[in-house]
Amino acid sequence: MDSNDIPSTLRRIADLGRAKSYAELGRLLAAQDEGALYGLVEADVGGDGVATQHMFGAAGALIAGGSVAAGQRALGTVAAASVARICEDSVAGDESEASGWTAAVCDRLLESLPQQSPRAVIDVSFRVLAELKTSGSVPAALLQHGVLPMLLDTLGAIGQIELVGAAGSQHSPAGGQAAASSSVLRSGSSLKAYWVDAACAYRWDPRASAALCALLREIVLDARQTRVVARRMLRQLASADHAELPAMVHQLLLLARRGHRREIVAGVFAVFGALEKKTNTRACSPQSSCRELGDVEGTVLLHISYSVKQDFALGSALVAYGREQSGLARGVSAFAFACLLSLARIHRFEKDVAELLRAAVLRGIGDRVALDTTCWARPCVPRMAFD
């Protein structure tokens, strides 16, 4: 299709769509090649994407009418072109300007997922993965409208599929195991596992950390993938801005319901222990980073308290962590101590936490008395938690 024909074709698509002539509109789409469909989606810049919405509807009508191959080809191409445009708008910072188009198209993407071919689902999923590798984030619209979690769960539900020439791609789901001219059999679950592993291996933009944590927490994961995601989220937590910490901890606590509670609890407390240590060495004033960290810890404390009430196994993991740390020379951090005090208000853990904290305090007092009465040891002993 010539570029001069695109505006007239878009007007015709809009007119046929308004007239609900989806049979004729379907024939029009079936006659277009992949490049022409991409051009039509990219040129549909006005309003709420009426032409693109009608293209989704016409492709679905082709499938419903029995032209499955032509309909899935058109539907997959329109979906891929739409996601590519959303990714480009996200990189260019034009998401707010195209919000009407994006919202309408995201709704259509969700509706069309059951009709998409396996090849189209794979192509769209790995187009988003390529965007994550390049920019360190994924388009916010795909997360806000729930497209990406549903897309990845659909990817995992695909059966065996033959990928022909996939290994030649930079973001190949075949993993570079075959020559570009050969083929490889892969299952949807293995492709989804590849996607999750790759997403966890890439660098994340700190501003998108909470959103990426929410994405990986929402999709269905097996035990191995849950551990991989938890460890990646904990690594990101250690380098995140203070403003991002409460939202990221909230996602980690939700993820902990699937398992690995001890590891997640230990990781969260290790991060805040390191932050407290860093802040204390700066001898900051209440108006500086001390105050900011205190506000963050207060919000996180509320998240932990609420999560424990919803998941008592998480509370048991907190108690186990406290017992483990109280036996070490450094003891528990101030933040962990505060969390345990909050946990003591829950009747189920009141006795265990009280005994644990009493033992920790008495041990700290004993250590301090021993240190005060042994002058030669004081220069050799670092500052401890009981100070």
Average pLDDT over every residue of 25-41:
85
Do 180 and 168 form a contact (C-beta atoms < 8 A)?
yes
Lowest-confidence region among 173-182, 185-194, 314-323: 173-182
Rounded to an integer, what distance in angstroms lies between the CA atom of residue 170 and that of residue 299?
42
The pLDDT tens digits of the residues spanning 325-382 come to 765 545 677 888 888 888 888 888 888 888 888 877 777 777 677 767 777 666 666 5
Record the tokens describing residue 14, joined without a space.
Answer: 């809009």
- Please report the pLDDT score of residue 33 as a whole number: 85
Residues 136, 141, 147: CA angle, nearest 5 degrees: 100
Average pLDDT over every residue of 14-29:
83
Work out the number of other CB atoms within 10 angstroms of the CB of residue 386. 14
> Is 0.85 topped by the overall pTM?
no
Quick one: what percent of the chain has pLDDT higher than 90? 29
Dihedral sign, Cα of residue 191, residue 196, residue 200, residue 206: positive
For 346, which DSSP code?
Answer: S
Rounded to an integer, what distance in angstroms lies between the CA atom of residue 332 and that of residue 325?
6
Q: What are phi and psi of 184, to 5 degrees?
A: -145, 140
Q: Could you tell me which residues come within 8 angstroms of residue 177 by beta carbon, excluding any fewer than 6 positions away?
A: 167, 184
Alpha helices in the chain (DSSP H): 6-18, 22-30, 34-43, 50-64, 68-92, 99-112, 118-135, 140-144, 147-156, 188-201, 209-218, 223-239, 245-255, 261-281, 289-310, 312-326, 334-343, 350-372
| Partners of residue 201 on adjacent β-strands | none
Rounded to an integer, what distance in angstroms lies between the CA atom of residue 356 and that of residue 364?
12
Q: What is the Cα Rg of the chain in Å?
A: 27
User: Diameter of the chain by CA atoms?
Assistant: 94
- Please report the pLDDT score of residue 182 as a whole number: 65
Do 274 and 335 form a contact (C-beta atoms < 8 A)?
no
The pLDDT tens digits of the residues spanning 133-180 come to 998 999 888 888 889 999 999 999 988 888 775 433 445 565 544 444
H-run or E-run covering 382 = none
Average pLDDT over every residue of 250-264:
92
Q: What are phi and psi of 183, to 5 degrees?
A: -130, 165
Token pair 């403003």 in the structure block, residue: 243
